[in-house]
């Protein structure tokens, strides 16, 4: 039980707020309605909202320190990942925080014993209340907002406040000012025109020579299959050894994207016949489903290529709806939560998890309240501390996505980076195309975070790029920010079976599952040799692992009315990162 002794001090429900809990100070506010949204109507006062309150994690800095220690190949603790209970001990709130928050909740007539639910670490509280009480608690005014393009409706507020004394105890409260939920976020993929190879995957052309002297089918220059990727990244012929020893890969799914089992078998019959009969496992998060009548391009792409490259490693597809089970009415839409938090909380609540994850979804960093982005990022740190490698698509907007304008009321032009790829505890994956040599593709999104400073593991790799860039684009990005992407992989012309037919698909959402599958193969080799999983990759990638990449030397990524970055330098770059893998060394 979480700090039971402290809860005993709240034996009676406080009916009047203590003096120190009466002065409200703004916690977060938007200066204007977020881009693309408009006020639609006013929700009913008795509309139920499930508030999720993120309490300050008492030893989060200690956890981050330990994360870097177990992820640094030159540190004595490398590979000594933490257990669920060890992580929860580090992130649980202090007793002072628990008492302060429970006193505040009780002052608003909530029974902290019966009305409040807590996760096992105690750093998240949930309580369901009518809108009228939520508005009083948060000094907020909620409206039903409608998205101008999609028609989606959500209940949100442009600002909320907390008692001044609680700002040191609460990181964030949701749903409040988080407008850009997953339905608004784009899946970073696009469908190309079908190619002749899609109808004839066995077409024979003269092979070309890859960067390590390997033979690669010439058709791979425009049409990507699992065989192409195995040849290009030198995994062809590797015999997996740890598929039955705990190694697994996880694929996240949002936006009602469903992986189709029949399409998966058709894909195997065409491109990976030895995998026929193999299937993915489905895990439902918060009521997520996997409707077999609606095959999803994104879900099929991710799972066909993770299994196509890492078969027979168990593959888990997490289907997360982002919709809480609330009561709808004729005016007020159902509550839609931020599914990253839902998915992270679900995975972290289990003692066992896959060793690599891939996610192909994201949104402009500025559309996430900063405190939300930091809290979510720290949850990714917990995954890394427990031995998981987390890959995210870097985005498909070139040098900058969205409107290229700030949303702080100043309307300044900036290159928009994509979150969660900007979180320093995940590995951002950009995209390339063509072979022998690979080139950075024009949509591969890269740049610099506004929220997160440059992590120490990038202190050597990134400055040479900035020096060569000089004053070009000065003022359009934060040169001191965390740089993205970290790595890259092929991202165009992927042959994907959707609804029984082959489609040619591209995007960094193709690159992320490709890189994640390669990491899964490396974990296979490590586990088979009695070693722990790779875990959080970046400290390794930017040090001992840098020799496992082929630097990409050509390409550009235009955006925001500029030609973007040009690749003509032998170092990290903001289109392809460190480059593409050439079977990374798994000796570390």
The residue-averaged pLDDT of 450-465 equals 97
**Residue 7 banded pLDDT, cuts 50, 70, 90:** very low
In a 3-state reduction of DSSP, which class is residue 165?
helix
Weakest-pLDDT range from 256-265, 375-384, 566-575? 566-575
Mean pLDDT taken over the chain:
88
Cβ–Cβ contacts within 10 Å for residue 583, how many?
16
Q: Which two tokens stand for residue 399?
A: 């040098």
pLDDT greater than 50 at residue 201: no
Residue in 71, 356, 509, 586 annotated catalytic: 509
388 pLDDT higher than 80: yes
Sign of CA dihedral 7, 9, 12, 15: negative
> What pLDDT digit, counting tens, does each position of 118-160 carry?
999 999 999 999 999 999 999 999 999 998 887 888 999 999 9
Catalytic hit among 302, 503, 524, 573: 302
Based on the residue annotation, tell me whether 543 is a catalytic residue of this protein.
no
What integer is the mean pLDDT of 251-270?
A: 94
567: Cβ contacts below 8 Å, ≥ 6 apart:
439, 440, 552, 553, 554, 555, 556, 573, 575, 576
| 302 among known catalytic residues | yes
Sign of the alpha-carbon torsion through 207, 209, 210, 212: positive
Sequence-distant (6+) residues with CB within 8 A of 515 are 358, 391, 427, 429, 487, 488, 489, 581
**Per-residue confidence band for 188, with pLDDT thresholds at 50, 70 and 90:** low
Give the Cα separation of 72 and 68 in Å (integer): 6
CA 138 vs. chain centroid, Å, equals 29
Task: Specify the pTM.
Answer: 0.91
Please compute Rg for the chain using Cα positions. 24
pLDDT in tens, 340-377: 888 999 999 999 999 999 999 888 898 889 999 999 99
Give the CA dihedral 284, 342, 256, 362, nearest 10 degrees: -140
- List 102, 298, 486, 503, catalytic entry: 298
Of the pLDDT bands very low, low, confident and very high (cuts 50, 70, 90), residue 579 is very high
- Alpha carbon distances (Å) from 114 to 111, 343, 443: 6, 25, 51
How far apart CA 117 and CA 308 sit, in angstroms, is 41
- For the question of residue 509 being annotated catalytic, the response is yes
Q: How far is CA 455 from its chain centroid?
A: 18
Which residue would you say has higher pLDDT here, 230 or 36? 230
Band (521; pLDDT cuts 50, 70, 90) = very high
Q: What is the pLDDT of residues 323-350, one digit of tens each?
A: 333 333 334 555 555 678 889 999 999 9
């Amino acid at each position: 039980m979480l700090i039971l002794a402290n809860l005993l001090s709240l034996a009676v429900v406080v009916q009047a707020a203590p003096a120190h809990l009466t002065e409200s100070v703004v916690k977060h506010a938007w200066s204007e309605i977020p881009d693309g949204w408009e006020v639609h109507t006013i929700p009913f006062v008795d509309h139920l909202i499930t508030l999720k309150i993120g309490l300050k994690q008492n030893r989060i800095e200690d956890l981050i320190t330990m994360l870097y220690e177990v992820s640094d190949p030159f540190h004595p603790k490398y590979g000594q990942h933490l257990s669920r209970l060890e992580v929860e001990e580090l992130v649980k709130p202090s007793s002072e925080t628990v008492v302060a928050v429970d006193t505040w909740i009780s002052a608003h007539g909530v029974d902290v014993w019966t009305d409040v639910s807590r996760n096992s670490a105690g750093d998240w509280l949930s309580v369901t209340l009518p809108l009228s009480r939520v508005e009083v608690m948060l000094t907020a005014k909620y409206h039903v907002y409608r998205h101008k393009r999609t028609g989606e409706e959500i209940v949100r507020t442009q600002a909320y406040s907390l008692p001044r004394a609680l700002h040191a105890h609460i990181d964030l409260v949701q749903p409040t000012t988080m407008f850009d939920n997953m339905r608004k976020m784009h899946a970073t993929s696009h469908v190309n025109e079908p190619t002749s190879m899609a109808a004839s995957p066995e077409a024979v052309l003269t092979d070309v020579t890859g960067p390590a002297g390997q033979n690669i089918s010439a058709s791979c220059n425009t049409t990507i299959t699992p065989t192409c990727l195995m040849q290009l990244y030198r995994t062809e012929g590797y015999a997996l050894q740890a598929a039955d020893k705990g190694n697994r890969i996880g694929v996240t799914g949002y936006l009602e994207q469903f992986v189709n089992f029949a399409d998966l078998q058709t894909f195997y019959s065409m491109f990976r016949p030895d995998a026929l009969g193999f299937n993915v496992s489905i895990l439902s998060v918060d009521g997520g489903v996997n409707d077999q009548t609606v095959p999803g391009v994104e879900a099929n792409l991710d799972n066909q290529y993770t299994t196509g490259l890492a078969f027979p490693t168990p593959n888990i597809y997490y289907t997360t709806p982002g919709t809480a089970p609330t009561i709808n009415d004729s005016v007020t839409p159902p509550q839609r939560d931020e599914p990253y938090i839902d998915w992270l909380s679900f995975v972290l609540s289990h003692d066992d998890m896959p060793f690599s994850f891939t996610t192909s979804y994201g949104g402009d960093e500025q559309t996430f309240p900063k405190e939300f982005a930091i809290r979510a990022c720290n949850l990714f740190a917990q995954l890394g501390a427990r031995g998981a490698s987390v890959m995210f698509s870097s985005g498909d907007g070139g040098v900058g996505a969205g409107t290229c304008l700030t949303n702080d009321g100043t309307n300044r032009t900036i290159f928009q980076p994509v979150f969660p790829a900007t979180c320093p505890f995940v590995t951002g994956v950009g995209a390339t195309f063509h072979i022998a040599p690979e080139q950075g593709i024009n949509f591969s999104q890269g740049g610099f975070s506004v929220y997160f400073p440059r992590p120490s593991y990038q202190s050597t790799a990134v400055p040479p790029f900035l020096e060569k860039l000089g004053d070009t684009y000065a003022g359009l990005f934060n040169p001191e920010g965390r740089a993205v992407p970290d790595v890259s992989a092929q991202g165009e012309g992927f042959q994907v079976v959707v609804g029984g037919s082959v489609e040619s698909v591209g995007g960094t959402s193709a690159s992320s599952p490709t890189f994640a599958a390669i990491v899964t193969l490396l974990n296979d080799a490590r586990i088979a040799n009695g070693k722990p999983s790779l875990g959080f990759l970046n400290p390794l990638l930017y040090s001992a692992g840098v020799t496992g990449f082929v630097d990409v030397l050509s390409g550009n990524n235009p955006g925001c009315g500029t030609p973007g970055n040009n690749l003509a330098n032998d170092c990290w770059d903001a289109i392809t990162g460190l480059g593409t893998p050439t079977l990374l060394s798994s000796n570390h």
